[in-house]
Amino acid sequence: MGRSEKQKAEDAIRIDVVRQLVRAGFLNDYIARLLGIKVSCLRVFLYRHKVPSNPGLGGKRNHARYKGGRIVRKDGYVYLSGMQHHPRHYKGEVLEHRVVMETKLGRFLTAEEVVHHIDYNKQNNDINNLMLFKSQKAHFFYEKNICVHPNNPRN
């Protein structure tokens, strides 16, 4: 018997990153979406690691809190607030696409690493729309010489 999909998904999750998201006040629904797993799967994972989770999007109050965690700033990027525990937060805020990548990798990104939006939509932070580069230099090289996406302003 192979390992279940659920188990494989759990292997990709680093508990400290999840713990941080929970502590920052994010709801199960949102964290599960970031991780690309089912809410029920996350709940089991949290229970096993004895992390007291925040409730889901059931009530109106929770929904309001959920919205408050995401802010679209003037630069067009989505920021997550309440992230004071993040090693590279600025005034408690961290770029959502970087947190999505960190959650996927199970580690924090270095200051040098750059996360690229494949469709050039800064607000589409689905993990499948994100690409990680080791440096800004590598990122620029990709955009200038390799990327053929129609939304690339260089094309």
- x/- contact string, 43-82, with Zn ion (CB under 5 A)? ----------------------------------------
**Site size with Zn ion, rule: CB under 5 A:** 1
Nearer CB in complex with Zn ion: 84/136 = 136
Report the Cα 78 to chain-centroid distance in Å. Answer: 11
Strand partners for 131 = 116
Nearer CB in complex with Zn ion: 5/112 = 112
E strands, 29-83, are 70-72, 78-80
Buried b / exposed e across 108-137, counting CB within 10 Å, b at 16+? bbeeebbbbbeeeebeebeeebbebbeeee
Give yes or no for a contact between 131 and 118, defined as CB atoms under 8 angstroms apart: yes
Query: From CA 110, how far away is CA 63, in angstroms rounded?
Result: 32
The residue from 67, 116, 126, 145 that contacts Zn ion (CB under 5 A) is 116
Least gap, CB of 89 to Zn ion (angstroms): 22
Find the part of the chain contacting Zn ion (CB under 5 A) among 43-51, 53-61, 96-104, 114-122: 114-122
Q: Does 104 bind Zn ion (CB under 5 A)?
A: no
Least gap, CB of 88 to Zn ion (angstroms): 19
Query: From CA 55, how far away is CA 30, in angstroms rounded?
Result: 11
Least gap, CB of 17 to Zn ion (angstroms): 23
Least gap, CB of 101 to Zn ion (angstroms): 13
Given the rule CB under 5 A, which residues bind Zn ion?
Answer: 116
